[in-house]
């Protein structure tokens, strides 16, 4: 099970989380998020990661040049788009960064008809996605709300031919096993579910989440 711990905000926490061996750590560049980090801090944190852990930059409605510049300057090895970016935006970004894996986050409210059309357009534009991260659709937010998407609908409607499914939204150490059993995703992503307060990671909860999601 691929595991991403998202929203790390300081070097010490980045080091400690890396010691727990997730597959990826996310760094949020969305200015309105409590988990937002500066470029300088992002560089300091990515420098501490071993090559086995992906450094994922999380972006919300940024310009293409902002993303490409930060990939280079901040040492990012993966990009996650969590805003309202259309398929044409992904195509432009993919053309500039073909070697950087791209995750498209999708806020799910009802069924996945809109996602089906979106992914079909990405395919038409020859965009290769590393994965599709499904979060809950909560008005006024772009993720990190602590709400779960409808697992039963997701399990029933997510097509096998689509990009690898990464389950997010409201996951915690207590429910991640149930989420994995219900949805059968390729990977899981967590931010608020392993925090003691907004933006502050609880390392014991991070360790429990990883242990439960990836039993030894």
pLDDT, tens digit (0-9, with 9 covering 90-100), for 102-159? 999 998 877 798 999 999 999 999 999 999 999 987 665 655 556 788 899 999 999 9
Into how many domains does the chain fold?
1
Nearest to 80 by CA among 1, 189, 170, 207: 189
CA dist 161 and 123 (Å) reads 11
pLDDT, tens digit (0-9, with 9 covering 90-100), for 155-210? 999 999 999 999 999 999 999 999 999 999 999 999 999 999 999 999 999 999 99
pTM of the full predicted structure? 0.94
Mean pLDDT, rounded, for 5-19: 97
Residue 152 has a pLDDT of: 92
CA dist 22 and 1 (Å) reads 10
Domain span including residue 140:
2-213
Question: In this structure, what CATH number is given to the domain that contains residue 43?
Answer: 3.20.20.70
């Amino acid at each position: 099970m691929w595991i991403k711990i998202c929203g790390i905000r300081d070097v010490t926490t980045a080091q400690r989380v890396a010691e727990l061996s997730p597959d990826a750590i996310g760094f949020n560049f969305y200015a309105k998020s409590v988990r937002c980090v500066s470029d300088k801090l992002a560089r300091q944190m990515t420098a501490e990661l071993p090559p086995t852990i992906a450094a994922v930059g999380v972006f919300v409605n940024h310009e293409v040049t902002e993303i490409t510049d930060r990939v280079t300057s901040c040492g990012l090895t993966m990009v996650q788009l969590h805003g309202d970016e259309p398929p044409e935006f992904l195509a432009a970004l993919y053309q500039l960064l073909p070697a950087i894996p791209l995750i498209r986050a999708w806020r799910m409210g009802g069924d996945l008809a809109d996602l089906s059309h979106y992914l079909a357009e990405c395919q038409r534009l020859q965009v290769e996605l590393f994965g599709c991260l499904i979060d809950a659709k909560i008005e006024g937010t772009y993720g990190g709300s602590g709400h779960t998407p409808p697992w039963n609908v997701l399990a029933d409607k997510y097509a096998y031919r689509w990009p690898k499914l990464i389950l997010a939204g409201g996951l915690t150490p207590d429910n991640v096993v149930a989420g994995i059993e219900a949805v059968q995703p390729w990977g899981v992503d967590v931010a608020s579910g392993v925090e003691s307060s907004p933006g502050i990671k609880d390392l014991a909860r991070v360790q429990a989440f990883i242990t439960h999601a990836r039993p030894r």
